Structure 1
Amino acid sequence: MLFHKALRLLSPILLLLNESVHGKVIPPRDSYDGCRAIPGDYSWPSLADWNALNKTVGGRLIATIPIGALCHRTYSSQTGDIASYDKQKCQELRDSWFLPETHLASSSSPMAYAFSNNSCNPWLDPAVSCTIGRHVVYAINALGPSDIQQGVKFAKAHKIRLVIRNTGHDYLGRSTGAHALGVWTHNMKSMELTKYQSRDYSGPAVKIGAGVHGVDAYTFANSKGLVVVGGNCPSVGIAGGYTQGGGHGPLASKYGLGADQVLEWEVVTAGGQLLTANCNQNSDLFWALRGGGPGTFGVVVSMTVKAYPDSYASTAYFSVLDNGTNTDTIYKAIGSFLTLLPNIVDAGVYALWVVNPAGFFLMPAFAPTLRKGELDKILKPTLDAMDSLKLGYQYSSSENPTFLSAYKSLTSSWNVSDYSTGGRLIPRDVAKNNKDALVKAIRHIGSKTLFSAVSFNVKNGVSSPDENAVNPYFRSSLFNVFMGVPLNYTDYNGQTGENEITNDYLPALAALTPNGGAYPNEADVNQPDFQSVFYGTHYKKLLTIKNKYDPQGVFYAKAGVGSEAWKEQVDGRLCQIKSAAS
């Protein structure tokens, strides 16, 4: 994109820090005990250190200039203010800000804007200075294990924070961090079809590099007459947070979660080792990486996943618009839909539905290996319920010859940059035994903001809920709620949407699901008791594995396993909490 090209002209690829700001020498500080270093500390890398790292990784060390810098007259870095404002390029940036592709090309831009700490807001007056905020300071454009190993080694040697980033498509801010060195795996794009043989599986598999997007994996598999399990958004990195966090998607009701598909990992550990993790080697790490959360146990280089024969797939949509007089009837229809959902997902259908002030929408039901007529028959009881309520709606369905063609016909997903977000898993028994209260909670949220849900049956994706690290609560869940409160960039208060989600919307669902769970990739970063809510009964085992492979806490991710031992200070410094670490 033009604004990315313009941004690269602002400075060389490596923007070297020096030890002065605006000509004033800053005396170095002692590093705080148990804290990661920040600029000004004795252990913070010197100019020579950064130059040496850049040379070691083949000149692919990238200094961060936030992409919003084009909308500001100055960018305040440690080397001083840099003129950067370009009115035309700024408008181009604003026009494309909410597209994932805008952030994918950056080694530092978090799609979840709140985690930049509003440091370089493209909608503010150009006179307001852009700062680095919570962006990483540098990122290594990693092309292989050696680059990752050098990044881990450098971060440990200088006691600085390390962040793992692929696409930056992350709702919890795990792919950015203040005063950090980023390992950017986005350009590790290898894909290979293999024949995999193990005690648990024999058949076709695809080995996927850490930087491969979901749609790329789908396209590659399609070219071989196969399908692989991935997510809804085409730009989500399939081997990163998606699979490591569990991973639901259009094939979930047919084959299970993304984590259920993994046969093998290649991973760089905190000790700098390149390990193979599968059911025979490093099996504890293999277990943890399949659903135990991203950015926590190591840096994934590649994963090998099961592949299945391709087939036709059908999709269906309906929309019910709220005209101001039919609201009560809409929520009666939603109650009927909840009653019918188990039969829908048990037939292998994955259903994404939305409730918001505009109405009630199925967008879509996705049915792999089912004909259009079969999907219509499965959804007919829902349509009959709306007919009996005399509720007007629009319905359409279609059939495609391959999974990929059906997937490409889907409605575009929302971008992370639009919302503060949160989520909750809703089990089958709540929809069955406490339906009216559930509808009331849905109305409480959906009448004010975005309430979306994806419905699935992933119970049969594993032989038992303990086969991998995914929260066992997932296996009895009927749908995952994902809600969003829109951000206001011109009057930004990063806490407003988060507070509404944490203190109002999510408690309405939590009251119905005591001792419940949430999908850690689409959850509230401020979730109380995240250990049990995100990881369930697996947390204790996960923490033991974390401490085995990363005893020094090199890898930190918000609400990740072991993160309770750390706290971010007001200045962004990451510090160990003595009581939690002991």
Structure 2
Amino acid sequence: MKAGAAHRGHWRCGPSFIPDGCDKAQPGLIVGAGIQDAEAYDFADANNITIAGGNDPGVGISGGWLQGGGHGILTNTMGLGVDRVLQFRVITPDGKYRVANGCQNEDLFYALRGGGGGTFGVVLESTTLASPRVTVQVVAILWTSTITDITKSFFALLLDNAVQWANDGWGGSVTDTNVIYANPVLTQAQSNASMAPLIQFGEKLVANGVPGAQVLLLEFPSYGAFFNTFAFANAAQSGTPLAIASRLVPRDNFATESSRAELLAAIMNAYAVSPSLRLLATAPSSFPGDGSTSVTEAWRDTIFHVTVVGSWGWNSTLSLRKQQYSLASSAIDFIREITPDAAYQNEADVHEPNHEVSFWGTNYQRLLSIKRK
């Protein structure tokens, strides 16, 4: 057993973690409530393991990220955070200290795996599955100038290939000036073959002299090494006021040429309203789960998680702030119109219509009954 500590929490890992009251042993990482992605990935690397956390250095491994579902670059092949958590230690609203896992307080365990951060108690620590270290293949295309024609052709290329790339094990993040895809299951040769259309697109940008255009084909010895190379430059700025809205886009929207054209038009319309639009290939597309979590089942059929934001300065008027909330909601409306009700609660419109279904699907009534206990 190895141990470490940080000023915001604690962690421990071991090859044979057995949840309290259970018999089955699995490799587990015990994570205190204050531990964030950056330090957790460093600890995982130091102990030769892989954990599937979030995309941002400041995301808490045991907090709202996990309790709301928990997506990241490795989700496609390793599952959501809620698929991997083995146990919680929590203080419930009645003031009692409880252990929740698959063998005791099972309803609470179910609720904590998707019911929402802080909704069912104060989590003190979680234990998540620790997987073996993986080699990560990366394809990244970067440029510095936003050019509408390039953005549209780029998004069209992504939509044409998104399902195949999901099937091949890729996870990634896309804006109008970069795409970063990572894969923990392919070799470098397989990676380059799978991503040939994207690599060719990047090479064309370079050949045409698009400002700042780069094509990066990289291999990292661990997920932590990949994360430390890319995550900090793309990290969200703490304390920035913003309004966010999102949508989970299922496979059906990619099924035919006409459905992809419809989706492209919706994305471009949303982008025109909110140029901060981001396409996140961070769904459990290749990880079906076992039906025991409380996140919306729509996650399992999702190819892209799309987010938009509106932002304002610290001294903005109330009117401007309200305008930005409306902007984010109106941007995502273009995608709402052509997709089922499904959104990621941690990054959703605060005025999300039909939020009970959008956030939790068929799980809402059971969650409500547990909340009333």
TM-score between both structures, scaled by the size of structure 1:
0.57
How far does residue 269 in structure 1 lie from its aligned partner after superposition? 0.7
3-state SS of the aligned residue for 1:521?
Answer: helix
Cα RMSD (Å): 2.4
The code of the aligned residue for 2:77 comes to: K
3-state SS of the aligned residue for 1:491?
Answer: coil
* Preserved contact between residue 345 and residue 351 of structure 1 (Cα < 8 Å): no
Is 2:160 the partner of 1:347? no
User: Which deviations, in whole Å up to 9, do the C-alpha atoms of 1:217-271 show, x marking residues without a partner?
Assistant: 2122222110111101111111000000001112112201111111111110111
User: Which deviations, in whole Å up to 9, do the C-alpha atoms of 1:285-329 show, x marking residues without a partner?
Assistant: 0011011111110110111110011122122211356665xx345
How far does residue 460 in structure 1 lie from its aligned partner after superposition? 4.6
How far does residue 365 in structure 1 lie from its aligned partner after superposition? 0.7
Is 2:40 the partner of 1:217? yes
Structure 1: tracts of 5 or more residues without a match: 1-185, 549-582
Which residue of 2 is the match for residue 454 of structure 1? 280
* Counterpart mapping for 1:395-544 below 5 A: 395-410=215-230, 411-415=233-237, 417=240, 419-433=242-256, 434-448=259-273, 449-464=275-290, 466-492=291-317, 493-502=320-329, 504-514=330-340, 516-544=341-369
The code of the aligned residue for 1:501 comes to: A
The code of the aligned residue for 1:375 comes to: S
For residues 200 and 398 of structure 1, do their structure 2 counterparts lie closer, same or farther at Cα, with a shift above 3 Å needed?
farther
Is 2:48 the partner of 1:231? no
- In structure 2, what is the Cα distance between the partners aligned to 1:201 and 1:221? 22
- The partner residue of 1:379 within 168, 187, 195 is 195
* Preserved contact between residue 67 and residue 82 of structure 2 (Cα < 8 Å): yes
* Counterpart mapping for 1:62-73 below 5 A: none
The code of the aligned residue for 1:213 comes to: Q
The code of the aligned residue for 2:237 comes to: N
* Counterpart mapping for 1:155-234 below 5 A: 188-194=8-14, 195-197=16-18, 202-234=25-57
* Preserved contact between residue 260 and residue 462 of structure 1 (Cα < 8 Å): no
The code of the aligned residue for 2:334 comes to: A
- The partner residue of 1:368 within 168, 184, 187 is 184
- In structure 1, what is the Cα distance between the partners aligned to 2:191 and 2:140? 11
Identity %: 28
User: Which deviations, in whole Å up to 9, do the C-alpha atoms of 1:367-408 show, x marking residues without a partner?
Assistant: 224444432222112344677999765321211222211110
- In structure 2, what is the Cα distance between the partners aligned to 1:460 and 1:328? 32
* Preserved contact between residue 210 and residue 237 of structure 1 (Cα < 8 Å): yes
**Number of residues paired by the alignment?**
353
TM-score between both structures, scaled by the size of structure 2:
0.87
The code of the aligned residue for 1:402 comes to: S
* Preserved contact between residue 346 and residue 457 of structure 1 (Cα < 8 Å): no
Higher relative contact order (CA 8 A, sep 6+): 2
3-state SS of the aligned residue for 1:296?
Answer: coil
Give the stretch that moved more between structures: 378-387 or 388-397.
388-397
Which residue of 2 is the match for residue 127 of structure 1? none
Which entry has the higher C-alpha Rg, 1 or 2? 1
User: Which deviations, in whole Å up to 9, do the C-alpha atoms of 1:485-539 show, x marking residues without a partner?
Assistant: 231334333211101122x11211110113x200111111121221111111110
Structure 2: tracts of 5 or more residues without a match: 1-5
How far does residue 335 in structure 1 lie from its aligned partner after superposition? 1.5
Which residue of 1 is the match for residue 63 of structure 2? 240
The code of the aligned residue for 1:343 comes to: Q
